[in-house]
Amino acid sequence: MKRKPLQPDTPDDLLQQDFTGDCYRAAYQWASASKGQGWTLVHGTVLSQRLGKRIGHAWCERGDDIVDLAMPVGVRDFKRDEYYRVLKPEVSKRYPAEHAVFLMLRNRHYGPWEESEQLPESLLAEIEEKRLRKS
């Protein structure tokens, strides 16, 4: 029997998967599956109502829309105002989806990425140049 090639998850597939406790992988997966659609992967902290303190977290933003796959299935897309009002995020770093893919491949983990793990300026310039040529 011939096997189908491994196909990456689509954004619709990701919205149905359980990412409880795995926000960095979840945000990376969304950014990767949504490349070219204007999403930004965000690392920072949010206020955990359950723990009563700030925790490291990752989510994705595009304009006024936010997707946080670490939230329960069915409650994962938010308007920016609502998300920021409830979770009170503090942003540490924003990554265009294309940069996030390079960072994960380079560092072999989903984040957060330390300063020493960031992409060199020369590579960032090359990525941006290629992106501009495509548009």
118 falls within a domain: yes
92 falls within a domain: yes
Closest listed residue to residue 56, CA positions, set 66, 67, 48, 68:
48
Q: Write out the residue range of the structural domain in which residue 69 sits.
A: 11-134
pTM to 2 decimal places: 0.86
Question: Residue for token digits 């265009």?
Answer: 96
**Residues 101, 110: Cα–Cα separation, whole Å:** 9
2 falls within a domain: no
28 falls within a domain: yes
Q: How many domains does the chain have?
A: 1
3 falls within a domain: no
Residues in CB range of 34: below 8 A, 6 or more apart:
11, 60, 97
Please give the chain's pLDDT, 135 residues, in tens. 454 455 678 899 999 999 999 999 999 999 999 888 999 999 999 999 889 999 999 999 999 999 999 999 999 999 999 999 999 999 999 999 988 989 999 999 999 999 999 988 888 888 778 777 876
Q: At what angle do helices 121-134 and 97-107 cross, to 10 degrees?
A: 140
**Residues 77, 123: Cα–Cα separation, whole Å:** 32
Three-class secondary structure of residue 81 per DSSP: helix
18 falls within a domain: yes
